[in-house]
């Protein structure tokens, strides 16, 4: 089941983390009405659902401080981001990186990675915006007694203010009843982006706080989470192994599993993982005494990419070929029937829908997929690792939110721009060569447009449009690198590029149960209704029978392409990555051409 739009939003609201704050100790508290240190009542922290808050680490804090100092000066930056206080980040929906920034249990604003400047930009909100108004910095007081989203104010409407040339400012009505966030426009006015009833400025944070102090305040909650997780794992201990990636979630799952008596951890070395991931896995397995098993794909990434093309968020062949296939093989060889994972419901809508214990949708040899930290927040995971004195992958301290491969399309731009490894330089050269070969604009590299294959997010399309670039042209040019399609009279001609000579005899046998085969020779196969397939990979289909293209293309690829991943041994034939992904370029290119 897939949820989108308002249904997905409603679900995230329903499952949102109960984030609270102790003002006496200046620490976050999750799901507890009283602080575990001082016993004071905690108050609710308002955060965008699902409120999967995480602590800001060294690189996050450095970037934030530099951003605030550049925007408002050192004095105000220190008030917004006091050095003695724990700072929380809450990832929110955006085309790229974006986080709510929470200080002292109050949202001070949102940092977004701006797709125009390719830099972090700060949008002051709520207590942060109110502080700027009080400090008379980056603010505007307007004549109006009300504020509405998208409302426009001329310069003449501003009673007083301190407006930068560009960026965002805090705005307040003349009577002080309403506040908001407004964008400074090129022609000098303001466009309101967000509105709320006026709130007081951010108060001064009381005392010093850090993750260790937060752990003490949340000790009761962490003990409860641990006990529930241990009871769950004990029911599935026999024949189980933990799938570990080097990220925080699977590390916590491994720590819990070892306590419950599980011996094995399985790490899949994709060949394009960050070195920090494997180092972190080895270190935590050694500390916990877990036996580490390493699985590898039969053919590596650089060989497979020549077959599938560049992976993307809407074309993730890499997960099946580089991860699921080797994982299935080692589970089958070792007789493991239960996979213990670090999946959490706050990571995505699909994981929010998934049960804590489920059957693998892809690998038939795995009877149960168990997620012991399914209901843990990011903050709780980090606190648990710190409490257990377990290592945390150092990529988190370098500004990464998600740990995976350095070629992963799920990476955010600031993460990509911070990578400096030799391995990544090879990937970067590959992308630049591809862009030159197919005459793609430099934005395909600078905006990492390779992360999408068939459709860009609206925000990305807007950026491209303002630069005079048509998003559809980039997509068509990129897809045409693997398939050529053209309309000829009343027929559609499809040419599959880089395909060996098609075995028409074998193809005819595969298609005879679905089509009436009229004629077959060494160079040409004629099906019913004048559908023609040539040995050079050309397919000609009458326009009114275009719906048959997809099936024919799948049949051709199933005969002639195999990446030897062996996933078919452990899963349904329909899950073969060749069948699941290679035909998509043709299907999407046909659709876009017909759309005009």
pLDDT for 596 equals: 67
- Structure confidence at residue 481 as a pLDDT band (50, 70, 90): confident
pLDDT in tens, 425-457: 999 999 999 999 999 999 999 999 999 999 999
Nearest to 312 by CA among 510, 482, 90: 482
CATH class for the domain made up of 482-595? alpha beta
- Structure confidence at residue 364 as a pLDDT band (50, 70, 90): confident
Q: How far is CA 35 from CA 31, 212, 220, 225, 383, in A?
A: 10, 14, 10, 17, 15
pLDDT in tens, 319-360: 999 999 999 999 999 999 999 999 999 999 999 999 999 999
Domain definitions of the chain by residue range: 5-197, 218-398, 420-477, 482-595
**What is the C-alpha to C-alpha distance for residues 4 and 7, in angstroms, rounded to an integer?**
6
**pTM for this structure?**
0.95
Across the range 346-375, mean pLDDT stands at 93
Residues in the chain: 596
- Structure confidence at residue 468 as a pLDDT band (50, 70, 90): very high
**What is the C-alpha to C-alpha distance for residues 197 and 175, in angstroms, rounded to an integer?**
12
CATH, domain 5-197, list 3.90.400.10, 3.10.450.120, 3.40.50.2000, 3.30.70.1140: 3.10.450.120
Is residue 594 predicted with pLDDT exceeding 80?
Answer: no
Q: Note whether 132 and 126 are within 8 A (CB).
A: no
pLDDT for 499 equals: 85
**What is the C-alpha to C-alpha distance for residues 413 and 97, in angstroms, rounded to an integer?**
7
pLDDT for 524 equals: 93
Across the range 205-212, mean pLDDT stands at 89
pLDDT for 5 equals: 85
Mean pLDDT for the chain overall: 95
- Structure confidence at residue 361 as a pLDDT band (50, 70, 90): confident
Is residue 301 predicted with pLDDT exceeding 90?
Answer: yes
Is residue 521 predicted with pLDDT exceeding 90?
Answer: no
Beta strands in 83-228 (DSSP E): 87-91, 98-103, 106-114, 119-124, 139-142, 152-153, 158-162, 167-173, 178-184, 190-197
Taking the mean position of all CA atoms in its chain, how far away is CA 246? 17
- Structure confidence at residue 498 as a pLDDT band (50, 70, 90): confident
**What is the C-alpha to C-alpha distance for residues 496 and 479, in angstroms, rounded to an integer?**
11
CATH class for the domain made up of 218-398? alpha beta
pLDDT for 1 equals: 61
Residues 6 or more apart from 100 whose CB is under 8 A from it?
47, 48, 89, 90, 92, 107, 109, 110
Beta strands in 501-589 (DSSP E): 517-520, 524-527, 531-534, 538-542
What single string gives the DSSP state of each residue in 367-433? -EEE-TTTT--HHHHHHHHHHTT----GGGGGT-SS-SBTT-TT--HHHHHH---HHHHHHHHHHHH
- Structure confidence at residue 488 as a pLDDT band (50, 70, 90): confident
């Amino acid at each position: 089941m897939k949820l989108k739009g308002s249904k997905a939003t409603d679900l995230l609201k329903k499952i949102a983390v109960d984030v609270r704050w102790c003002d006496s100790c200046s620490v976050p508290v999750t799901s507890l009405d009283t602080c575990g240190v001082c016993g004071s009542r905690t108050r609710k922290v308002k955060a965008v659902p699902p409120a999967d808050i995480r602590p800001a680490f060294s690189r996050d804090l450095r970037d934030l401080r530099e951003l605030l100092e550049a925007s408002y000066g050192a004095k105000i930056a220190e008030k917004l981001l006091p050095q003695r206080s724990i700072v929380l980040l809450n990832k929110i929906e955006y085309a790229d990186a974006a986080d709510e920034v929470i200080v002292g249990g109050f949202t001070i604003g949102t940092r977004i990675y701006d797709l125009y400047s390719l830099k972090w930009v700060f949008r002051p909100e709520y207590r942060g915006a109110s502080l700027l108004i009080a400090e008379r910095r980056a603010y505007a007081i307007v004549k109006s007694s009300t504020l509405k989203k998208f409302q426009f104010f001329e310069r003449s409407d501003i009673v007083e203010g301190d407006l930068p040339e560009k960026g965002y400012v805090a705005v307040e009505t003349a009577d002080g009843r309403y506040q908001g966030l407004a964008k400074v426009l090129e022609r000098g006015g303001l466009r309101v982006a967000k509105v709320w009833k006026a709130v007081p400025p951010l108060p001064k944070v009381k005392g010093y706080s850090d993750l260790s102090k937060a752990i003490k305040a949340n000790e009761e909650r962490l003990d409860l989470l641990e006990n529930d997780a241990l009871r769950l794992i004990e029911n599935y201990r026999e024949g189980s192994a933990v799938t570990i990636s080097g990220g925080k979630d699977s590390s916590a799952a491994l720590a819990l599993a070892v306590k419950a008596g599980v011996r094995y951890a399985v790490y899949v070395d994709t060949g394009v993982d960050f070195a920090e991931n494997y180092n972190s896995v080895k270190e935590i397995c050694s500390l916990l005494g877990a036996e580490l098993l390493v699985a590898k794909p039969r053919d590596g990434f650089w060989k497979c990419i020549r077959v599938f093309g560049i992976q993307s968020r809407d074309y993730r062949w890499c997960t099946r070929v580089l991860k699921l296939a080797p994982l299935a093989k080692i589970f089958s060889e070792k007789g493991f029937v239960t996979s213990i994972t670090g999946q959490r419901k706050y990571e995505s809508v699909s994981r929010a829908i998934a049960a804590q214990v489920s059957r693998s949708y892809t690998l038939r040899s795995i009877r149960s997929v168990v997620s012991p930290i399914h209901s843990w927040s990011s903050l709780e995971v980090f606190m648990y690792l710190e409490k257990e004195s377990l290592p945390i992958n150092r990529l988190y301290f370098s500004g990464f939110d998600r740990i995976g491969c350095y070629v992963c399309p799920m990476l955010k731009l600031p993460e990509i721009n911070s990578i400096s490894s030799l391995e990544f330089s090879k990937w970067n050269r590959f992308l630049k060569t591809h862009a030159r070969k197919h005459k793609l604009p430099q934005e395909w590299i600078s905006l990492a447009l390779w992360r999408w294959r068939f459709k860009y997010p609206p925000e990305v399309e807007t950026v491209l449009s303002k630069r005079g670039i048509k998003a559809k042209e980039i997509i068509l040019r990129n897809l045409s690198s693997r398939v050529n399609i053209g309309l000829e009279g009343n027929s559609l001609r499809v040419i599959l590029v880089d395909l060996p000579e098609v075995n028409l005899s074998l193809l005819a046998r595969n298609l005879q149960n679905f089509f009436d085969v009229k004629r077959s020779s060494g160079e040409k196969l004629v099906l019913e209704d004048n559908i023609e397939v040539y040995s050079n990979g050309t397919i000609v289909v009458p326009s009114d029978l275009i719906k048959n293209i997809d099936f024919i293309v799948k049949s051709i690829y199933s005969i002639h392409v195999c990446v030897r991943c062996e996933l078919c041994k452990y899963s349904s034939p329909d899950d073969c990555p060749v069948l699941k992904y290679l035909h998509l370029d043709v299907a999407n290119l046909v659709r876009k051409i017909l759309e005009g």
